[in-house]
């Protein structure tokens, strides 16, 4: 499995596809001005991290690449592109409204003429394994909502696709969890709740239904 080491992961900033509420998948949908501002806001958060990342890895899609480079203005770290971190290739469902591909957003139906869920999970497992195995210090991965979900699926968890743009998550090794070997924290802009633990990878189905699917 993936080495249980500490790392950070963040979804890219808001994109034109997000605003239109259409599936981007492997399409190269650029950041909006708001998305670029979201990435700039993360600079303040990473500057206050107790343990800072030692390198940044991002997918080749411009929304992740541009988000990563904006964040890195505050860190000046080695930065690397890795195509294996790209979003799910949704085939015929790319460019269609969210309402027409809900079975992919909340489940793992294989899209016609696209990547299968098994292929996708194998790809991101390989990427994360290679990255984490090569680094003892924490790294930051800038990628996509599907990559967050796929990480859960690798461990047998059906995590719904509700990961807001540009919210930094910390994955802290926690071997007491039998299914998913990390505690997960989300960093917020409000000083009074700068770092909060999230149950997204450890929640019951009832918690997910109440807090994620209905959100």
* 88, 114 contact by CB (below 8 A): yes
Question: Per the structure block, which two tokens stand in for 18?
Answer: 């997000």
Catalytic residue among 12, 58, 144, 169: 12
Catalytic residue among 14, 58, 87, 170: 87
Cα 89 to Cα 3, 51, 114, 139, 181: the distances in Å are 25, 33, 5, 25, 27
Q: For residue 12, indicate whether it is catalytic.
A: yes
Q: How far apart are CA 27 and CA 61, in angstroms?
A: 8
CA Rg value for the chain:
16
Please classify residue 4 by burial: count the beta carbons closer than 10 Å to its beta carbon, then call 0-12 exposed, 13-18 middle and 19+ buried: middle
Tell me phi and psi for residue 70, to 5 degrees: -65, -45
Q: Is 87 a catalytic residue?
A: yes
Length of the chain as a residue count = 215
Coil, strand or helix at 199: coil
Q: Measured between alpha carbons, how far is 86 from 88 in angstroms, rounded to an integer?
A: 7
111, 104 Cβ separation under 8 angstroms: yes
Active-site amino acid positions: 12, 87
């Amino acid at each position: 499995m993936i080495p249980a080491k500490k790392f950070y992961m963040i979804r890219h900033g808001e994109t034109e596809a997000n605003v239109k509420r259409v599936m981007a998948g492997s399409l190269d949908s650029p950041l909006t001005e708001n998305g670029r501002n979201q990435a700039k806001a993360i600079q303040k958060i990473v500057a206050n991290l107790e343990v800072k990342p030692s390198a940044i890895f991002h997918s080749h899609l411009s929304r992740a690449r541009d988000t990563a480079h904006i964040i890195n203005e505050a860190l000046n770290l080695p930065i690397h592109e890795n195509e294996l971190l790209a979003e799910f290739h949704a085939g015929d469902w790319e460019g269609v409204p969210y309402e027409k591909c809900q079975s992919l957003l909340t489940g793992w139906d294989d899209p016609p003429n696209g990547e299968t869920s098994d292929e996708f999970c194998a790809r991101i497992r390989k990427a994360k394994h290679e990255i984490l195995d090569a680094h003892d210090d924490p790294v930051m991965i800038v990628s996509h909502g599907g990559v967050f979900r796929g990480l859960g699926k690798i461990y047998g968890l059906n995590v719904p696709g509700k990961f807001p743009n540009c919210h930094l998550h910390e994955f802290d090794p926690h071997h007491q969890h039998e299914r998913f070997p990390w505690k997960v924290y989300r960093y917020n802009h409000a000083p009074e709740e700068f770092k909060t633990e999230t149950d997204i990878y450890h929640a019951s189905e009832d918690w997910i239904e109440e807090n994620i699917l209905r959100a």
